[in-house]
Amino acid sequence: TGMRIGIVGLGHMGGAMAGWLVGTGAAVTGFDLHGPSVAAALEKGVTIAGAVASVAAPVVILSLPQERAVEAVLAALLPALEKGAVVVDTSTLDPLAARRFHALAASFGVDYLDAPVSGGPAGAAAGRLAMMLGGEAAAIERARPVLERMAATILHVGGPGAGQVAKLVNNLLVATHLAVAAEALRMGEAAGVKAEALLPVVNAASGRSAATEVNFPKWIISGAFDSGFSAGLMRKDVRLALGLAKAVGVPLDACAQAAALWEGADVVDAADFNRVPAAILAGEGA
């Protein structure tokens, strides 16, 4: 149906979400600073706004790289929204930032939900994301018709910031699983068994994870490296998780060692994030 949806950030995730939502019959208006992101969204039937404020709608989705960008966008967006509008922020951020944005939005009579997602551009382009929400139940109910189009799984984790806490737990696990799987496979290869032969064993046995079931076969061993998630964004997530651990006074040992491999790998930020475990597997990780 012709529901109106705004979106700011039309990159790998936002562009895919916007394209899917257009396909469901929604009237989607989007904004991005980056020419190529705008051109790709235009091709998918997204109406392009000339300024952030022009995406104003009852539900506005954000898909931005970091806190600074969200801060700038909210400053322009919140004054343009009607009371009762809901901002659904799918960016991965520090939970403290999410709490701050929730309070800032409230001062404009607007609801802000931290709504980080998992599933990558492919999940976004198919309306099959997993979404973890922090915020008020009433705001979730108002946004639900949009959320249900975007996500196969919608989990209300708790109050403001709880969605981001869940996302950082998840992505710290992803980063750690990828690093330790790469190291274990490297050991196997050095002992004379190729990763191609090891992975089906691990995946039929109890060492499996999304790293061994998806990342290694689909993006690393294949040489495709086209997941649509960059090493720079994963490093951001790892840093946010380390910051959270520090803030809550929980020492990380195993995860911190894996995090150091993500920092130390000689892989540029723009590269596919699977280049980091690939470098570890190749012995270029430390």
Residue with tokens 């002992």: 191
Tell me how far, at minimum, the Cβ of 42 lies from ligand NAD, in Å.
13
Residues lying near ligand NAD in the complex (CB under 6 A) are found at: 8-14, 31-34, 37, 63-65, 69, 72-73, 90-92, 117-118, 120-121, 228-229, 233
Tell me how far, at minimum, the Cβ of 238 lies from ligand NAD, in Å.
11
Q: Which residues pair with 29 in a beta bridge?
A: 6, 47
Integer distance in angstroms from the first to the last C-alpha of the chain?
A: 52
Tell me how far, at minimum, the Cβ of 232 lies from ligand NAD, in Å.
8
Radius of gyration of the chain (CA): 20
The smaller minimum CB distance to ligand NAD, of residues 31 and 108, is found at 31
Can you tell me the distance from the alpha carbon of 29 to that of 48, in angstroms, rounded to the nearest whole number?
A: 6
Q: Which residues pair with 129 in a beta bridge?
A: 151
Position closest to ligand NAD via CB: 11
Tell me how far, at minimum, the Cβ of 206 lies from ligand NAD, in Å.
27
The smaller minimum CB distance to ligand NAD, of residues 77 and 185, is found at 77
Least Cα distance to 92 among 119, 63, 128 occurs for: 63
Can you tell me the distance from the alpha carbon of 228 to that of 212, in angstroms, rounded to the nearest whole number?
A: 18
Can you tell me the distance from the alpha carbon of 87 to that of 143, in angstroms, rounded to the nearest whole number?
A: 9
Residue with tokens 């380390």: 242
Point out the residues that are catalytic: 167
H/E stretch holding 152 reads strand 151-158
The smaller minimum CB distance to ligand NAD, of residues 26 and 77, is found at 77
Question: Quick one: three-class SS letters along 91-148?
Answer: CCCCHHHHHHHHHHHHCCCCEEEECCEECHHHHHHCCCEEEEEECCHHHHHHHHHHHH
Tell me how far, at minimum, the Cβ of 57 lies from ligand NAD, in Å.
16
Amino acid at 252: L
